[in-house]
């Protein structure tokens, strides 16, 4: 064993010299001290085994040396190996070195790819800039095919520095010869299915994407594969549909030396669990608020006053709400009952039907909650305006943006308040239109101007008593008072921008999504038959753009389905950040060589 370790150590220093030769200088290996804040990611300074090593021993031993000390805490999802091995990988950190081992033996004559990803950080929390791969073979030949592509990355992943993985699942009779797949044979027939069990087995080949979603998958051999991208949050190298986002390439991949496809894969929620009612609360005397395990899709079927009801457990009497609406701040469904339930009586509150935004239905066995109705005698305050908001896609107000006022509870048949805008010290009364049970649409006779501050006021009648006259009589005095609801800045004319363009391969079934880097707010435009689209109301700044075939009935990319299996649909997202300037912008001039969207 001593001689073996001596051989590994010498090979490591040979690899160190090889890597250092490609750098300007190798860093001095000392513990971090004082000085300016370190914001640079750690870099690989040396690696064992050397890139492209063949005839590697059947024991897993990889050693990396970094240009600075790294955190000793290595999350499980920071390192992956493909093909998978039977035993867990072990990490040992000492200063600026990381050793990777396992009790599991490597297969003979096999090319392995080990990927080190962003979960590896220095002592200041800086992650690896991009995944680093070590490719070696336990035989005389090393597989050398590669695949490139991009996976959808969202803002949550960026905040957590946790990025998706790409996996190739082998298909066909060749699966019989793969050792780690033998455990997935049918327990009765002992037959190994020629189609991979995506929710049970790890992929044959796997690697991590970088912070932009770009990936390079190396050390591949020819074959037929089913391609999946997934956020491997727990690091088990398997798809967990109940907790992880998953997406599928639009067809099975036949990989050969001539393969030149770039893989573009969106991600979607694959959780098929049913919606459940979780709890109810009573915010006001005659109003219930229901909370579900996921946000309810508030459509006409759910909002039907006959859909949800209260049933007394004492006498079976059933009460139906007079109004159903979404709470202004909580966004949970609320139910107002005109007929007052009996106090201190236990009721069963149940809904017949509901679904979430992905059309997952309500579990009929978990569609109710028992609730003891509370007497709230002091709740006699009339509905009050809680807030007002411009419904735009930017922080600034655009000329066509809607203005909405929200009440804390249903306002009834009469509206006692008036609403005004103050612009450049000019006050104008707004027209009022009922929007739903708790909100009003406030309309101006003209479009909102640019380059101004817009104040929205609520006018209300205040009653007080005047000073007593000589006879001691005090008259009632009614005065109009004003309360400011919101103050917003209108868009500057010098910052107004628009965008138009044509999507290569686009048609009327294609959607374009534009997301502001500053606000994270997205706008969606539909293409015409020739792939043309436009966004008229924008502010100059940076944006991400993507275009795709949406999932039926939704406006999000179609990532396919795990169960029952369905391939995803084409999605493209250029790496370039769109820099929009004031005035008209043309996408095809800003990004001349847009990726072509393949046909659905």
Name the helix (H) or strand (E) containing 10. Answer: helix 2-21
H/E stretch holding 156 reads: helix 155-160
Percentage above 90 pLDDT, the chain: 74
Q: Say what the pLDDT of residue 33 is.
A: 57
Confidence (pLDDT) at 31: 53
Report d(CA 58, CA 61) in Å as an integer. Answer: 9
Q: Is 46 helix (H, G, I), strand (E, B) or coil?
A: strand
177: left (phi over 0), alpha (psi -120 to 50) or beta: alpha
Per-residue pLDDT, 394: 86
At which residue do the structure tokens 């009440």 appear? 407
Q: What pLDDT, on the 0 to 100 scale, is given for residue 167?
A: 97
Confidence at residue 242, expressed as pLDDT on a 0 to 100 scale: 86
| Residue of higher predicted confidence among 374 and 153 | 153
**Both tokens assigned to 450:** 């640019």
What is d(CA 556, CA 54) in angstroms, rounded to the nearest whole number? 45
> How far apart are the C-alpha atoms of 95 and 45, rounded to whole Å?
13
**pLDDT over 80 (residue 8):** no
Can you give the pLDDT at residue 32?
52
The count of C-alpha atoms lying within 13 angstroms of the C-alpha of 42, restricted to the half-sphere facing its C-beta, is 32
d(CA 503, CA 515): 17
Can you say how many angstroms the Cα of residue 558 is from the centroid of all Cα atoms in its chain? 14
CB count in 10 Å sphere of residue 465: 9
pLDDT band with cut points at 50, 70 and 90 for residue 379: confident
CATH architecture of 1-142: Sandwich (2.60)
- Give the tens place of pLDDT for each residue, 502-560: 999 999 999 999 999 998 999 999 999 999 999 999 999 999 999 999 998 889 999 99
Q: Is 515 in contact with 522 (CB distance < 8 Å)?
A: yes
Report whether pLDDT(170) > 90: yes
pTM of structure: 0.83
* Cα distance between the two ends of the chain: 58
* Element of type H or E holding 2: helix 2-21
Give the tens place of pLDDT for each residue, 9-67: 445 444 544 444 443 334 434 455 555 677 899 999 999 999 899 999 999 999 999 99
Decide: 508 and 596 in contact? Cβ < 8 Å.
Answer: no
Interval 411-424 mean pLDDT: 89
Which residue from 478, 479, 488, 480 is spatially nearest to 421, judged by alpha carbons?
488
Q: Is the pLDDT of residue 334 over 80?
A: yes
Q: Which of 341, 362, 340, 360 is nearest to 351 (CA)?
A: 362
Mean pLDDT of 275-294: 94
The CATH class given to the 277-372 domain equals mainly beta
CA-to-CA dists, residue 237 to 131, 178, 221, 400, angstroms = 16, 17, 20, 48
For 29, the token pair is: 């290996």
User: Residue with structure tokens 């669990």?
Assistant: 273
Determine the Cα–Cα distance for residues 117 and 129; give it in Å rounded to an integer.
9
Specify whether the CB–CB gap between 244 and 251 falls below 8 A.
no
User: What's the CA gap between 421 and 432, in Å, rounded?
Assistant: 13
Rg (Cα) of the chain, in Å, rounded? 31
3-class state of residue 432 by DSSP:
strand
> Is the pLDDT score of 366 beyond 80?
yes
- CATH of region 385-489: 2.60.40
Counted residue by residue, the chain has a size of 600
Q: What is the mean pLDDT of the chain?
A: 90
Extents of the domains making up the chain: 1-142, 277-372, 385-489, 496-590
Q: How far apart are CA 316 and CA 336, in angstroms?
A: 20
DSSP for 274-338, please give it.
PB-EEEEEEEETTEEEEEESS-----HHHH-TTTEEEEETTT--EE--SEEEE-TTT--EEEE-S
Which pLDDT tens digit goes with each residue over 426-454? 999 999 999 999 999 999 999 999 999 99
Q: What is the pLDDT of residues 240-272, one digit of tens each?
A: 988 889 999 999 999 999 998 899 999 999 998
Look at phi and psi of residue 425 and say left if phi exceeds 0, alpha if psi is from -120 to 50, else beta: left
Structure confidence at residue 29 (pLDDT)? 43
**Three-class secondary structure assignment of 450-473:** CCCEEEEEEEEEEEEECCCCCCCC
What phi and psi, each to the nearest 5 degrees, are found at residue 322? -90, -25
DSSP 86-99: SS-EEEEEETTEEE
**CATH architecture of the domain formed by 496-590:** Sandwich (2.60)
- Per-residue pLDDT tens for 95-133? 999 999 999 899 999 999 999 998 899 999 999 989 999
| Position 480 pLDDT exceeds 50 | yes
Give the span between the Cα atoms of 244 and 233, in whole angstroms: 7
Interval 386-396 mean pLDDT: 90
Do residues 194 and 215 touch, judged by C-beta distance below 8 A?
A: no
Determine the pLDDT at residue 86.
87
Beta carbons within 10 angstroms of residue 452's beta carbon: 16
pLDDT at 158: 86
Looking at residues 381-400, what average pLDDT do you find?
Answer: 90
Asked, colleague to colleague, whether 1-142 and 496-590 share their fold, the answer is yes
Rounded Cα distance between 543 and 549, Å, is: 20
Q: What are the tokens at 175? A: 């699966």
């Amino acid at each position: 064993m001593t001689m073996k370790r001596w051989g590994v150590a010498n090979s490591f220093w040979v690899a160190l010299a090889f890597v250092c030769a490609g750098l300007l200088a190798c860093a001095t290996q000392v513990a971090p001290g004082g000085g300016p804040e370190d914001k640079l990611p750690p870099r690989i300074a040396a690696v064992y085994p050397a890139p492209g090593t063949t005839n590697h021993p059947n024991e897993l031993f990889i050693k990396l040396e970094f240009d600075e000390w790294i955190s000793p805490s290595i999350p499980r999802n920071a390192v992956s190996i493909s093909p998978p091995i039977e035993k867990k990988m072990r990490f040992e950190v000492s200063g600026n070195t990381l050793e990777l081992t396992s009790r599991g033996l490597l297969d003979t004559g096999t090319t392995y790819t080990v990927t080190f990803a962003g979960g590896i950080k220095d002592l200041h929390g800086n992650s690896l800039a991009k995944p680093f791969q070590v490719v070696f073979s336990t035989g005389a030949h090393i597989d050398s095919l590669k695949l490139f592509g991009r996976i959808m990355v969202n803002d949550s992943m960026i905040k957590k520095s946790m990025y998706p993985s790409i996996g190739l699942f082998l298909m066909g009779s060749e699966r019989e010869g793969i050792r780690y797949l033998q455990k997935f044979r049918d327990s009765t027939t002992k037959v190994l299915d020629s189609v991979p069990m995506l929710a049970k087995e790890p992929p044959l080949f796997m690697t991590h994407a970088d912070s932009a979603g770009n990936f390079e998958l190396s050390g591949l051999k020819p074959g037929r594969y089913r391609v999946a991208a997934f956020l491997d949050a727990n690091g088990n190298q398997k798809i967990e549909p109940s907790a992880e986002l998953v997406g599928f390439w639009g067809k099975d991949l036949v990989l050969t030396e001539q393969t030149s496809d770039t893989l573009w894969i969106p991600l979607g929620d694959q959780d098929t669990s049913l919606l459940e009612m979780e709890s109810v609360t009573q915010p006001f005397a005659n109003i219930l608020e229901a909370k579900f395990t996921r946000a309810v899709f508030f459509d006409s079927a759910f909002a039907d006053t006959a859909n949800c009801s209260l049933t007394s457990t004492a006498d079976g009497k059933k009460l139906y709400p007079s109004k159903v609406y979404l709470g202004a701040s909580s966004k949970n469904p609320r139910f107002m009952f005109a007929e007052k339930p009996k106090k201190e009586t236990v009721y069963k509150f149940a809904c017949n039907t509901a679904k979430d935004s992905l059309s997952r239905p309500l579990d009929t066995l978990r569609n109710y909650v028992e609730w003891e109705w509370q007497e709230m005698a002091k709740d006699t305050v009339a509905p009050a305006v809680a807030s007002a908001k411009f419904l735009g896609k930017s922080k600034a107000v655009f000329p066509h943006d809607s203005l909405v006022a929200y009440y804390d509870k249903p306002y009834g048949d009469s509206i006692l308040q008036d609403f005004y805008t103050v612009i450049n010290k000019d006050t104008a009364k707004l027209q009022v239109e009922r929007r739903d049970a708790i909100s009003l649409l406030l309309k101006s006779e003209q479009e909102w101007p640019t380059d101004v501050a817009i104040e929205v006021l609520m006018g209300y009648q205040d009653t007080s008593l005047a000073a007593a006259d000589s006879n001691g009589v005090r008259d009632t005095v009614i005065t109009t008072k004003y309360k400011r609801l919101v103050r917003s800045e209108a868009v500057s004319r010098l910052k107004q921008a628009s965008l138009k363009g044509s999507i290569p391969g686009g048609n009327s079934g294609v959607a374009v999504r534009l997301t502001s880097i500053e606000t994270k707010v997205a706008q969606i435009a539909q293409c015409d038959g020739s792939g043309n689209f436009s966004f008229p109301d924008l502010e100059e700044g940076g944006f991400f753009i993507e275009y795709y075939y949406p999932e039926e009935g939704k406006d999000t990319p179609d990532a396919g389905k795990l169960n029952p299996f369905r391939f995803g649909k084409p999605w493209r997202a250029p790496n370039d950040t769109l820099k929009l300037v004031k005035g008209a912008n043309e996408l095809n001039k800003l990004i001349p060589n847009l990726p072509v969207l393949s046909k659905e």
